[in-house]
Amino acid sequence: MNAISVIMPCHNRARELPRVLDGYDRQDTDQPFEVIAVDDASTDDTFRVLSEYPPHAFSLSVERQPANRGPAAARNRAIPMAESPLLLFVGDDIVPEPDFIRRHIQIHRYLPDICCAVLGRVTWPDDMPQNTLMAHIDGLGAQQFSYYYFQDGKQYDFRHFYTANISAKRELLLSVDHWFDTDFTYAAFEDTELAYRLVKHGLRILYSSAPVGRHYHYHTVWTFAARQHRAGMMACVFDRKHPGVMRRSSIAAARYWRGFGPLARAYLALKPEAAGAGDGLEAAALQLASFYEWNPNRLLDRLYVGVLDYFWRKGVVDGRINDPEVARPIHDYLARRTLAPVLAGFIREALPEGIALPEELTHSLLGRLS
């Protein structure tokens, strides 16, 4: 019997998967383990790469979803296939260190309680360039992971059930009436929601920096802003299922935004020049932030926080309001009230600090802000 089953949903990762799978072939454990990979209807060669890979140190099972339904559905398909007492949830862009499997198994031997889950560490690989945005989202900003603030051996709450690198007892998963909720169509909050329900069955998440996965997923401010937008939308799904659990102010405010459309339209009637302001300010914000992806400065973390928070809030608006005609004026209002002050504040502080500004963009942006 396998000591541990690795659950890996996959989508359009044909280029990265050979390196990921090779990482499992390089494990230093003598314990048998399996990888169960479910291709979520990829449009590239992901399924072919998975099907043709010849594993040496582990057994590999490959399934393919008939339609793209997100990682929640893919994991749900894999879980019944696993017979191991331990389930290890990973991403299709996570390359394990050689002691990855051994460390997870060892820690669970010291923590036999079925309620204990082991959260391993995820970090950027040494052989992939790391820009300032990537350093921020896994550092002070913690918009992707909160490892920057974690301490070894400490217990963390359900929000940190990171399915990029976490193992749990199969018996605990079987204690709930359903696993990952497929209403979460994007890769955000589906793991948090499961963990919230598992807490009622005793789940405890213990962090160990020993099992390390290298995250081969290059981000720019453009790609991560899109990710924040999707996360905001999925946060609304979580809030609908568990009202009041998320205390973030933008979620609380969004509960009232359904009736905010008429007010936003009235605002635009008084200030017609504000119509469409959201699109212009968004584009300018992304261009400005991207200018510093390889040019660090002491104001940059604050700029990233403001820009990424705006896209989260926009996602929350879209998660609450299905009508684009209602959502658009709220986007414009939100951009003027939250994004514009962030950009203006950055420029105002950057000038006396001698921080280089993109000249043409800055002139255009100052015109918008005025």
In this prediction, residues 253-264 reach a mean pLDDT of 54
Mean residue pLDDT across the chain: 91
CA distance linking residue 359 with residue 370, whole number of Å: 17
Residue 299 lies in a domain: yes
Q: What pLDDT was estimated at residue 365? A: 74
Examine the domain organization and report whether 39 and 162 are in the same domain.
yes
Examine the domain organization and report whether 96 and 59 are in the same domain.
yes
Neighbours of 294 (CB within 10 A): 10
Examine the domain organization and report whether 214 and 237 are in the same domain.
no
Examine the domain organization and report whether 87 and 168 are in the same domain.
yes
Q: Which helix (H) or strand (E) holds 236?
A: helix 221-241
Is residue 83 very low, low, confident or very high in pLDDT (cuts 50, 70, 90)?
A: confident
In this prediction, residues 85-98 reach a mean pLDDT of 98
Examine the domain organization and report whether 333 and 298 are in the same domain.
yes
Examine the domain organization and report whether 211 and 327 are in the same domain.
no
Q: Is the predicted pLDDT of residue 251 greater than 80, yes or no?
A: no
In this prediction, residues 132-157 reach a mean pLDDT of 97
Q: What pLDDT was estimated at residue 275? A: 56
Q: What is the CATH number of the domain that holds 159?
A: 3.90.550.10
Q: What pLDDT was estimated at residue 320? A: 87
Last residue within a domain, chosen from 218, 236, 267 = 218
Q: Is the predicted pLDDT of residue 47 greater than 90, yes or no?
A: yes
- Three-state DSSP at 43 gives coil
Last residue within a domain, chosen from 198, 218, 238 = 218
Q: Are 37 and 50 contacting, i.e. CB atoms less than 8 angstroms apart?
A: yes
CA distance linking residue 86 with residue 169, whole number of Å: 5
Examine the domain organization and report whether 156 and 15 are in the same domain.
yes
Q: What pLDDT was estimated at residue 246? A: 79
CA distance linking residue 115 with residue 48, whole number of Å: 37
Residue 141 lies in a domain: no
Q: Which string of b and e fits 331-349 if b means at least 16 CB within 10 Å?
A: bbbbbbebbbebbeebbee
In this prediction, residues 356-369 reach a mean pLDDT of 77
The parent domain of residue 226 ranges over 222-369
Examine the domain organization and report whether 273 and 326 are in the same domain.
yes
Q: Is the predicted pLDDT of residue 253 greater than 80, yes or no?
A: no
Examine the domain organization and report whether 262 and 113 are in the same domain.
no
- 182-236 residue pLDDT tens: 999 999 999 999 999 999 999 999 999 999 999 999 999 999 999 999 999 999 9
Last residue within a domain, chosen from 218, 239, 270 = 218
CA distance linking residue 213 with residue 97, whole number of Å: 6
Residue 365 lies in a domain: yes
Among 23-37, 75-89, 278-292, the range scoring the smallest mean pLDDT is 278-292
Residue 46 lies in a domain: yes
Q: Is the predicted pLDDT of residue 272 greater than 80, yes or no?
A: no
- 327-353 residue pLDDT tens: 888 888 889 889 999 999 999 999 899
Smallest Cα–Cα separation from 117: which of 13, 199, 234, 214?
Answer: 199
Q: Is the predicted pLDDT of residue 270 greater than 60, yes or no?
A: no
DSSP state of 338: I
CA distance linking residue 188 with residue 236, whole number of Å: 11
Examine the domain organization and report whether 244 and 171 are in the same domain.
no
In this prediction, residues 266-286 reach a mean pLDDT of 73
In this prediction, residues 166-192 reach a mean pLDDT of 96
Q: Angle CA(345)–CA(348)–CA(352) in degrees, nearest 5? A: 140
Residue 136 lies in a domain: no
CA distance linking residue 179 with residue 193, whole number of Å: 9
Please tell me the total count of domains within the chain. Answer: 2
Share of the chain above pLDDT 70, in %: 91
Examine the domain organization and report whether 90 and 238 are in the same domain.
no
DSSP state of 97: P
- Three-state DSSP at 34 gives strand
Q: What pLDDT was estimated at residue 53? A: 98
Q: Is the predicted pLDDT of residue 274 greater than 60, yes or no?
A: no
Q: What pLDDT was estimated at residue 145? A: 97
172: tokens are 């605990």
Q: Are 114 and 137 contacting, i.e. CB atoms less than 8 angstroms apart?
A: no
Residue 15 lies in a domain: yes
Q: What are phi and psi of 79, to 5 degrees?
A: -55, -45
Whole-angstrom Cα Rg for the chain: 22
Examine the domain organization and report whether 228 and 199 are in the same domain.
no
Residue tagged 């590239």 (tokens): 44
Residue 85 lies in a domain: yes
Residue 37 lies in a domain: yes
